[in-house]
């Protein structure tokens, strides 16, 4: 029943007298839709996730690194390197110890004199030996290195297949020829052939001291010996240059092709710069081989007493003088004179190898 003095609104639901005002207000407030029975069952079925149990595992035991083999190899390599240095040092000390007494009794200037008399006068000098040794080796290098580079480029970039292998095999075969064969061939076959060449060059370039006619006309000239030396060192320079040119990175070659370079330009801009250090080292190794050659030069060269600056004259190298004077090694002083000459050749070869290493390292292409 409505309270006296109040009328229910039209359209409003009847108010139950048992409901309190708070219930009436709550009845008319908006509220979320009640969950369905399916949702209630799903929520009820969910259980709190149990914590993941921590499984304790035994620690992994790694095998102990065994460095015994590495240490043994390192020790062996160090011992080998030390042994080589020790041997070279002993050779230097041996030469110096035996040469100093003879140099102290020498009656001539060892570096500037060309006299070699180990008799009563006991005077000896190496100026002529130094000139002939260095001069003949340089001429041999001037002949051999350009030919070796050309042959190496032919084998690696021009000739293919069987032709390349055949040329390489024939060049390598030159290294197997004994020195005595080169000497006899140079004196009997090559020397007479080069005599007209020497006469022609003397007539045309005779105003230059090194092209003047020799003091002793003979096939056994420095020019002949230098040509034979060039043939002897050709396999060394060619072999190393060939290996260096063959290792030119393909990217460098393809880059040159991509820029429109011809084959000659590709070789000049990509192959030769990459192999410059290797070719330099090969040339220096060939020079060391030429400086120390004994038998072939001893057979070919005609010995002269005076210092002859012409390439068409005779002379004697350090190695040839020592080999020719082996019969005079009957006293300590005479032996010391020859050992002093050998000491100079030892130092000269050492300097050449040091220069070769420096030039090779300086000429390496940096990535």
pLDDT digits (tens, 9 = 90+) for 207-245: 888 888 776 667 788 899 999 999 999 998 998 888 888
* The predicted structure's pLDDT at residue 46: 54
* The predicted structure's pLDDT at residue 367: 45
> Residue 36 domain-assigned?
no
* The predicted structure's pLDDT at residue 146: 92
Q: Per the structure block, which two tokens stand in for 318?
A: 């350090």
How many Å apart are CA 311 and CA 142, to the nearest integer? 14
Residue with tokens 């390349």: 164
> Residue 332 domain-assigned?
yes
Domain ranges, residue 124: 82-363
CB 152 within 8 A of CB 242: yes
> Residue 60 domain-assigned?
no
> Residue 161 domain-assigned?
yes
Q: Per the structure block, which two tokens stand in for 116?
A: 């070699």
* The predicted structure's pLDDT at residue 207: 85
CATH number at residue 100: 1.10.3720.10
How many Å apart are CA 149 and CA 140, to the nearest integer? 14
* The predicted structure's pLDDT at residue 30: 47
> Residue 296 domain-assigned?
yes
> Residue 33 domain-assigned?
no
Q: Which residues of the chain fall below pLDDT 50?
A: 1-12, 15-32, 367
Residue 367 in 3-state DSSP? coil
> Residue 62 domain-assigned?
no
How many Å apart are CA 209 and CA 284, to the nearest integer? 27
pTM comes to 0.73
> Residue 348 domain-assigned?
yes
Residue 280 per-residue DSSP state: H
Domain count, the chain: 1
* The predicted structure's pLDDT at residue 140: 92
């Amino acid at each position: 029943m409505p309270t006296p003095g109040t009328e229910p609104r039209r359209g409003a639901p009847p108010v139950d007298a048992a409901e309190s005002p708070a219930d009436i207000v709550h009845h008319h407030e908006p509220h979320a839709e009640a969950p369905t029975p399916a949702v209630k069952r799903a929520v009820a079925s969910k259980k709190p996730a149990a914590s993941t149990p921590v499984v304790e595992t035994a620690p992994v035991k790694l095998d102990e690194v065994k460095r015994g083999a590495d240490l043994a190899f390192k020790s062996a390599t160090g011992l080998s390197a030390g042994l080589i240095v020790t041997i070279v040092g002993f050779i230097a000390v041996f030469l110096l110890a035996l040469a100093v007494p003879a140099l102290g009794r020498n009656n001539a200037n060892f570096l500037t004199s060309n006299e070699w008399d180990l008799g009563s006068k006991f005077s000896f000098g190496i100026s002529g030996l130094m000139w002939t040794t260095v001069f003949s080796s340089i001429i041999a290098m001037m002949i051999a290195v350009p030919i070796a580079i050309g042959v190496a480029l032919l084998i690696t970039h021009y000739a293919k297949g069987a032709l390349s292998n055949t040329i390489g095999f024939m060049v390598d075969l030159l290294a197997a020829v004994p020195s005595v064969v080169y000497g006899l061939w140079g004196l009997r076959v090559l020397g007479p052939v080069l005599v007209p060449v020497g006469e022609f060059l003397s007539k045309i370039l005779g105003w230059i001291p090194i092209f003047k006619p020799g003091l002793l006309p003979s096939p056994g000239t420095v020019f002949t010996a230098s040509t034979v030396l060039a043939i002897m060192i050709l396999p060394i320079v060619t072999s190393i240059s060939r290996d260096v040119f063959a290792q030119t990175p393909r990217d460098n070659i393809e880059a040159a092709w991509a820029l429109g370079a011809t084959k000659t330009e590709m070789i000049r801009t990509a192959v030769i710069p990459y192999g410059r250090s290797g070719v330099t080292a090969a040339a220096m190794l060939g020079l060391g081989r030429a400086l120390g050659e004994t038998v072939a030069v001893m057979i070919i060269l005609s010995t002269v007493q005076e210092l002859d600056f012409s390439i068409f004259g005779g002379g004697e190298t350090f190695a040839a003088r020592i080999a020719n004077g082996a019969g005079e090694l009957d006293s300590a002083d005479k032996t010391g004179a020859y050992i002093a000459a050998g000491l100079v050749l030892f130092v000269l070869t050492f300097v050449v190898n040091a220069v070769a290493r420096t030039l090779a390292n300086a000429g390496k292409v940096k990535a």
